[in-house]
């Protein structure tokens, strides 16, 4: 690998609280080590269109506490094609960029891995997604903040559920992964949790509602958006038909989960990952993701992060049955 003097940093895919903390860490670590750091706006779309700006220490001052991403992000279909990636590479060369640090999820890392092979340019990935579904890291940037946002919202829903003796089906984000639903459900004391990783769990909800008829208490059922039964609204409608005497309601938390000031935990892991990503580049590493396992920084090949599946802890789901 040639000597790295200029690096680019971008945020790609869905935004996540803590991305700005990671950008800040990349910029300041790069400058500390004598590198020029360029921000690439609007993800791969901005890379293709040449939206590349030089960043200095002041550029990232006062952003560690902000949600979203100051570099903005975008979905980019053009990058799926070789022609689109070639345009992106040409723009990097025009700015003299030797390597790129990308903050995003599995789709973003897939594109980075392909482009790195095609044009022999180093990419380092930093996991930034509230879904926490990337293999090779215990936590992704934004997951902890999203959990706390969900818990705060569901605590409020629980108040009205208790006041009226209602059953609330609450849908949370997570794509095809149940990490947000499972852990927030435990933290909220949910009586049931439906996640894509556990098939046939609707029968457990039916059994719970049947038993509940004798108790007449309020209930919270957490539903991951990728659940096979069709989401909170579809499931709630089925249960209304089967249990017409119950007051069943639904709430979809939606994009409120992706916003807000990042938690202290997200700020810290984002800072650690951003610093290590720069140091990994300077150590001539490429095509890896920076992760955290058992509190320690680890390096995972990008190919593994997109090919291997991260499993939820099924013991936690068993615990829900016991505690409910």
Given the residues 106, 131, 266, 276, select the one marked as catalytic. 131
- Pairing outcome for strands 167-172 and 248-252: parallel
Known catalytic membership, residue 131: yes
Distances 312 to 1, 75, 215, 290 between C-alpha atoms, Å: 38, 27, 31, 20
CA nearest neighbour of 88 among 42, 157, 37: 42
User: Any idea which residues carry the catalytic annotation?
Assistant: 131
């Amino acid at each position: 690998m040639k000597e790295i003097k200029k690096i680019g940093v971008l945020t790609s895919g869905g935004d996540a609280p803590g991305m700005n903390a990671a950008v800040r860490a990349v910029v300041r670590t790069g400058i500390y080590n004598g590198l020029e750091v360029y921000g690439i706006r609007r993800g791969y779309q901005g890379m293709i269109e040449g939206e590349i700006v030089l960043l200095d220490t002041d550029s990232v001052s006062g952003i560690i506490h902000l949600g979203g991403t100051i570099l903005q992000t975008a979905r980019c279909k053009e990058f799926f094609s070789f022609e689109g990636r070639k345009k992106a590479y040409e723009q990097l060369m025009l700015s003299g960029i030797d390597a790129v640090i990308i903050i995003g999820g599995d789709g973003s890392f897939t594109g980075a891995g392909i482009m790195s092979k095609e044009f022999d340019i180093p990419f380092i990935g930093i996991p930034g997604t509230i879904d926490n579904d990337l293999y090779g890291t215990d936590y992704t940037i934004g997951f902890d903040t999203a959990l706390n946002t969900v818990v705060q919202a569901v605590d409020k829903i629980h108040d009205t559920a208790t006041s009226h003796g209602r059953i609330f089906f609450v849908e949370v984000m997570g794509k095809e992964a149940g990490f947000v639903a499972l852990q927030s459900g435990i933290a909220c004391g949910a009586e049931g949790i439906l996640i894509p990783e556990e098939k046939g769990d609707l029968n457990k909800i039916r059994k719970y509602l049947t038993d509940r008829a004798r108790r007449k208490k309020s209930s919270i059922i957490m539903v991951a958006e990728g659940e096979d039964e069709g989401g909170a609204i579809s499931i709630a409608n089925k249960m209304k038909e089967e249990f017409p005497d119950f007051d069943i309601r639904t709430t979809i938390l939606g994009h409120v989960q992706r916003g807000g000031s990042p938690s202290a935990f997200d700020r810290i892991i984002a800072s650690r990952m951003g610093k290590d990503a720069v140091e990994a580049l300077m150590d001539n590493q490429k095509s890896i993701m920076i992760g955290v396992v058992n509190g320690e920084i680890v390096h995972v090949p990008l190919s593994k992060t997109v090919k291997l599946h991260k499993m939820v802890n099924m013991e936690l789901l068993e615990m829900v049955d016991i505690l409910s």
